[in-house]
A and B are shown apart, each in its own frame.
Chain A
Amino acid sequence: MELTPRTGPDSEGGDDAVSVVRGKRRVSLPAMALLVAVVAIGGFVMVNALGSATTFYRNADEAVAQRESLGVKRFRLQGTVVPGTIAQTGEGVTFEISYNGVPITVHHVGDPPEMFKENQTVLLEGHFDADGTNAYDSDLMIVKHSEVYKEKEQERLKEAEVNGQVPVTTMRSGS
């Protein structure tokens, strides 16, 4: 607790001296610095939020519809991986995604995330190919997952009931 010196220039009366100091607003430097830092970071976060939150990604059908205006501009693309289209390439993986029945061929550079597989919804970062086709070159892949959670074992049991035998294949795509 900070209090006035007992023999200061303006310590005429005890009560007055104490109440004057109590009422005075002393803003400490570290607290001000922290406040400024918080406001600065908050501003940065706000700009990021407003800049990218509203059109965080385009679905495949919207991207194809806006093909002309998008050109080779960078944007995020969402779609579901079409079964049977995944193929490894030297630098990554190529596959088709589709949304509302509109497909786009994707050339992805880099290792896909662990959860990447057929019928998975993926978010890609990249741009349409410079040759003017609807092919999309991506260098960042994010796998979306739904709010639905299912037990692994239960699924196997269900399949076992249907097929009459326990499936030996794993859930993960090995392609």
Chain B
Amino acid sequence: MTTETAGPLGASDSGPTSTGSRTTLILGIVTLFALGVLVLFGLILSPAEENQSDAVRIMYVHVPSATLSYVGCFLTAIGSAVFLWRKSRWWDLVAYASAEVAALFTAFTLVTGMLWGRPTWGVFWVWDARLTSEAMLMLLLLGYLAVRGIAADYEVRAKRAAIVGLLLVPNVFIVRQSVQWWRTLHQTPTLSLSGAEIQGLMLFSLFTGFIAITLSFIWMVIHRFRVAWLEEQVDAEGLDTAIADRRAEGVVS
């Protein structure tokens, strides 16, 4: 399928013509390999922690997925800003794809956080500033997806969603700073510019977590974007056909 039938907004954009490509196939294989390495180091080779024992292993997926959910929110905000500025359908769909993956990663962060909290803190959930602001981020992402789901003209929908998309950035900032600004149960960051409070194989396991989760994020956003792009092409093509049909009927009657 080609992109000659791109809609009124995206006529100048070029996009994917299929959901797969050789490059992303290789990316997918590398991602699976990285996830395998993460399992090896996270569950087998890395040692138990002094206080937390084996519960610490949840960190190797919890921290990277939280970080990548922030990245997803930033990408959505960038896509939203470029859409509002240039009316680029390509960037709007980047924002959309990224928001959906960010929502998935935020949900994963919440679930792994709760599973980590129970054996260490003794509770699944408390309403401290970090957990509460993270819950708000999840709701904002769901709000973004809900706004997109409200049936309206493409440009109207995308514009509404883009405004919600821009709100993600302050929310991410609040989540990130919550442990510094307020008293929280959640601990402060382990990795910072001044150094890491984690060493050796545990640090390396966290590193493999970042690699594997980052690759997964990239793979998911690219594929979600392609599906969204192709859906829009089908929609636009369907509309063109319908208009052509009506024109033809109009001529006959």
Do A14 and B249 form a contact, CB below 8 Å, given A142-B126, A143-B122? yes
Nearest CB in chain B: distance from A75 CB, A? 12
Contact of A151 with B201 in the complex, beta carbons under 8 Å: yes
A114-140 residues with Cβ-Cβ distance < 8 A to B are: 114-116, 120, 123, 140
Contact A56 B129 (CB under 8 A): yes
A11 to B242, CA, bound (A): 13
- Segment at the interface with B among A35-43, A84-92, A98-106: A35-43
Question: With the chains together, A152 CA to B50 CA distance in Å?
Answer: 4
Min CB distance, B136 to chain A, in Å?
6
- Residue A171 interfacial (CB < 8 Å): yes
**B163 on the A face (CB < 8 A):** no
B48-81 CB contacts (< 8 Å) to partner A: 48-53, 56, 59
Interface membership of A68, Cβ < 8 A: no
Q: Report whether B246 and A6 are in contact in the complex, using a CB–CB cutoff of 8 Å.
A: yes
Q: Is the CB of B147 within 8 A of A49?
A: no
- Chain A residues contacting B201 (CB-CB under 8 Å) are 151
Using an 8 Å CB-CB cutoff, how does the interface string of A48-83 with B read, 1 for contact, 0 for none? 110011111100000000000000000000100000
Min CB gap B150→A, angstroms: 5
Q: Is A161 at the interface (CB under 8 A from chain B)?
A: no
A22 touches B49 (CB 8 A): no
- Among A112, A141, A149, the one with the most B-chain Cβ atoms within 10 Å of its Cβ is A149
Does chain A have a CB within 8 A of B132? Answer: yes
Please report the C-alpha to C-alpha distance between residue A25 and residue B151 in the assembled complex, in whole angstroms: 7
Q: Which residues of B contact A115 (CB under 8 A)?
A: 51-52, 119-120, 122
Q: Would you give the 0/1 interface string for A131-175, flagging 1 where the beta carbon is closer than 8 Å to chain B?
A: 000000000111111111111111100000000000000010000
Q: Does B25 contact A (CB under 8 A)?
A: no
CB–CB B153/A52 < 8 A:
no
Known: A49-B127, A49-B132, A54-B182. A31 touches B150 (CB 8 A): yes
A18-B133 contact in complex given A32-B150, A145-B121, A152-B50, C-beta closer than 8 Å: no
- Residue of A whose beta carbon sits closest to that of B47: A151
Residue B128 interfacial (CB < 8 Å): yes
Do A143 and B121 contact each other (CB < 8 Å), given the known contacts A1-B238, A149-B202? Answer: yes
Distance, CA A48 to CA B126, complexed state (A): 10
B23 interfacial by beta-carbon distance below 8 Å? no
A171 touches B50 (CB 8 A): yes
Contact B187 A147 (CB under 8 A): yes
- Shortest beta-carbon distance from A96 to chain B in Å: 19
Q: How far is the CA of A24 from the CA of B152 in the complex (A)?
A: 7
Question: A interface vs B, CB < 8 Å?
Answer: 1-3, 6, 11, 13-15, 17-18, 22-23, 25-28, 31-32, 34-35, 38-39, 41-42, 45-46, 48-49, 52-57, 78, 112-116, 120, 123, 140-155, 171
Residue contacts A-B, CB under 8 angstroms, 28 given: A3-B242, A14-B250, A15-B247, A22-B153, A25-B151, A25-B156, A26-B151, A28-B151, A32-B150, A35-B150, A38-B139, A39-B143, A42-B136, A42-B143, A49-B132, A53-B132, A113-B120, A113-B122, A115-B120, A123-B185, A143-B121, A144-B185, A146-B187, A148-B198, A150-B49, A151-B47, A151-B48, A171-B50
Extra pairs beyond A17-B246, A53-B132 (17, CB < 8 Å): A3-B242, A15-B243, A25-B153, A27-B152, A48-B132, A49-B136, A52-B127, A53-B128, A54-B182, A115-B120, A142-B185, A143-B120, A145-B120, A145-B187, A147-B188, A149-B197, A150-B49
